[in-house]
Chains A and B, each alone.
Chain A
Amino acid sequence: MNLGSRKLFDRSLTGVSIMAIILMSLSLLVLLGPIFSRGLGAFIFRATSEHRRLLLEQFNRGDAEEIAAETRAVAGARRPVYEMLEKFKKELATMEYPRRQGFRAELKEVKNLLRELLGPLPGEPEGVMLRQQYGQTRWDRARIKLEQILYSEQWDYSDTRSMGKKILVPRQRSFAGTQLEPLFPYLKNNLDKMLRPRLVFYWRFLSDVSMNSHFFGGIWPEILGTIYLTLGAMIFAIPFGIIAAIYLSEFASGGRLVSLLRVCISTLAGVPSIVFGLFGLAFFINTLHLSNSKSVLAGSATLALLILPTIIRSAEEALKAVPHTYKEAALSLGASQLRMVLTVLLPAALPGILTGIIISMGRAAGETAPIIFTAAVSVGQPLKIWETLSQPTPALPWNIYNLATEHQAVDEIRHVQFGMVLTLVLLVLLLNLAAIMIRARISKKMRG
């Protein structure tokens, strides 16, 4: 090759590798961008009067008088809607049979949507479920419901080569000439008077229990469950992790046993997390009977085994990074090995050990697969601390999965899902940030 091509080759290698770094950073941005922007929507959103009524009636929060006045004002704005419905019902009775029949199905649909938008219609019994007692609490959801009322969805299958095409048909057109026709423009123009959206910062999303399977309320049971599971895992894993690290860095003298132990640790680190879950089910629950079925205890124990290798490795590295002179000084002063480890080695290595512990805390908090069979349930109340020994708990990672795939109305509670993901990601990122800061301090100290 001539010099030119060699140079070009060199440049293109530089280009490709920098591209890889850029791509990686971009994918991180693409991943976190929507999670942050839409996750914030669970906390900061335009809340309707229904939201304030719900908070007052279910959580006893807010100014009762003010909300009562607001409810009256809102009811005033809604009255024409209900009057139009009544008038149309009377008109319907005067129509001849086929025409009446044609309107009936669509009227039912409109009424259902109106119930979802504004809450139960006047004069109707309230539903059993909380979701049937309130209208839309979020303005963005209310706007979507409004669209569904204004336009009915129909599918066009005339083009056989492709999948059906969606067409939106204004309902106003299908009700043209009837008493119900003015309902649609009225709804469109007065929705803000009927719901009174106001921007709120709903930080209680973090501390409220969920109501009616996450249609309303917050995610406190999940957060508490995640905290229990994580702390439980740390209680089991930290002592064993540090003991193993001390042994491997200070007392192990090479040889077969030690290399076997090392192989075991790295093997354990490579076991897929779902296998840990199965093992937890087969061992902790079906064999040891730690609890009758899933429990926080069994889940924590499983998670502890999962993070044990991480803790051992980072603690061992931290212990090895302590300068030899420290140990030698302590030993030459006549301290026993135990004393040296406890009073010199561990304190000196503490920040490094802490870093590893914090990082594995993040790992334990985010793991889903090991807790599916051992600890997690979809719906549950916040547990008391002694209940963790025998009760399963909802947890953030599991409920993100559950709400995003198995919930009855996946699309309607997107904001809750995003809020949960944001909470979990922030929790893990903050833990990692703390670890990074501790590490920066250590390296500064080492250099200084």
Chain B
Amino acid sequence: MSDAVSRLRRLTALILKGFLLLGTALSLVTVLLIIAYITRDALPFFKLRGPGELFTSTAWYPSGHPPEFGALAILVGSGLVTLGSILVAVPLGIAAAIALSDILPYRLRQTVKPVIEILAAIPSVAYGFFALVIFAPLLQNRGGSLLAIALWLIALPLGLLLIFVVTDAATRSIRADVALTARLILAAVLAVILVRGLLALSAKLTLLRIASGTNALNVSIILGIMALPTIISVAEDSLQAAGRELREGSYALGATRAETLFKVVIPAAGSGIIAAVILGVMRAVGETMVVWMASGNAAQIPSPWFNFLSPVRTLTATIAGDMGEADQVTGSGRYHVLFALALCLLLTSFVANLASEWVLRRQQRKLGGLK
């Protein structure tokens, strides 16, 4: 082949590569533009009002005379809803990921996977509609009894398991022939206490009157379900990535499946699970439609702060709801304060994303070293 032709070839390859790189750089450009434009429109707010008011005051009257921009209650609302969705999604998601990676047989796994995909695919506005039109009236009218049923379903099995563990630990040092009787007596006493306590608590819950079904609890549950697919798929991937050899080694030493999971697999896949939780939580933090439709949108700090039955307002819902009124009136505090809130949201998502990236990469290195 002549020199000229090969040079030409190299040149076209280079041009091609440059062209592709240019196309790829769109993501970089977009990220930079997003940061630039959100910051550009957020800065005037801080110039106008200073940073103090936004984070310390709870008076949110952006269209008042004079306007007040205290977003503390909104930040607390976002935090509360996020906490609630973590409480729903993390245990469920990790348990489901364990089931998918280690417990269910292959065939069942293949039928469960589409369920997760559908949960992920359903548009957020459909979740929001469900929360507002079906779930909220249900909570309002039958909320107390629903909570009582949920309490029994969750607390009874876990409580019984706890009793078993406690009795086992308490009677370990006693002579074997006495131990069995002691265990039975202790277990019976504890079980009676547990059931009594649950009965009292559920009686109280049944009498509970929920003033409005559009509250933090409603949104937390729905957001928790929405975050499930992310948590499950990332956590399952990292559980799978822990590999067969680790598991087989543990089984060979006589460990049960639960022991293998808790003492070998989860420590090895731990950082992946943390990344899964971070990504799932970010889905809940950034979600707009569900909270806008079903959180009640009251800019107040619930009292006490963990009162999930009171309506709350979140960052995303505030941006979505208030921009309509302030639409495109650049220069007004009302417009720029929403960009300031968006900047908070954006920074949170950046930090969370970088953290999950870092954690996942660390796991890859760790597992790579093991092999």
Contact = CB atoms under 8 A, between A and B. Distances in A.
B49 interface: no
Contacts of B293: 401, 404-405
Interface stretch (B50-58, B125-133, B192-200, B303-311): B125-133
A251 B24 CA distance: 11
Nearest to B257: A10
Given A278-B342, A404-B293, A244 B132 contact: no
Contacts of A10: 256-259
Interface in A336-364: 336-338, 359, 362-363
Contacts of A168: none
Contacts of A270: 279, 282, 286, 349-350, 352-353
Interface string B115-146: 11111011111111110111000000000000
Interface stretch (A62-70, A120-128, A368-376): A368-376
A312 interface: yes
A352 to B, nearest CB: 16
Given A275-B346, A417-B133, A282 B28 contact: no
A266 B357 contact: yes
B21 A247 contact: yes
A21 interface: yes
A84 to B, nearest CB: 37
B155 interface: no
Contact of B99 (A18, A31, A35): A18
B20 A247 contact: yes
A401 B228 CA distance: 23
A13 interface: yes
A21 B99 contact: yes
Secondary structure at the B interface, as helix, strand, loop or mixed, is helix
Interface in A287-317: 287, 293, 305, 308-309, 312
A337 B9 CA distance: 10
A191 to B, nearest CB: 27
A176 interface: no
A12 B157 CA distance: 9
From A16, A273, A274, residue with most partner B Cβ within 10 Å: A274
Interface string A270-287: 111111111101110111
**Chain A interface helix/strand/loop/mixed:** helix
Nearest to B121: A432
Contact of A397 (B17, B123, B328, B346): B123
B331 to A, nearest CB: 11
B26 A266 contact: no
Contacts of A405: 132, 293
A400 interface: yes
Nearest to A1: B168
B209 interface: yes
Given A10-B257, A17-B98, A421-B126, A286 B24 contact: no
B24 A425 contact: no
Contact of A261 (B24, B37, B128, B353): B24
A436 B113 CA distance: 10
A20 B20 CA distance: 44
Interface stretch (A22-30, A143-151, A203-211): A22-30
A34 B137 CA distance: 14
Contact of B92 (A24, A272, A369): A24
Given A9-B258, A272-B345, A279-B38, A309 B319 contact: no
Contacts of A287: 37
A307 to B, nearest CB: 12
Given A24-B96, A251-B17, A366 B25 contact: no
A323 interface: no
26 contacts: A5-B165, A9-B259, A17-B96, A21-B96, A24-B92, A24-B119, A25-B112, A243-B19, A244-B20, A244-B24, A260-B28, A270-B352, A272-B287, A272-B288, A276-B34, A286-B328, A287-B37, A308-B30, A337-B16, A366-B125, A368-B288, A397-B125, A401-B129, A401-B293, A421-B129, A425-B122
Given A19-B95, A35-B129, 7 more contacts: A5-B165, A21-B99, A270-B352, A271-B346, A286-B330, A398-B125, A417-B129
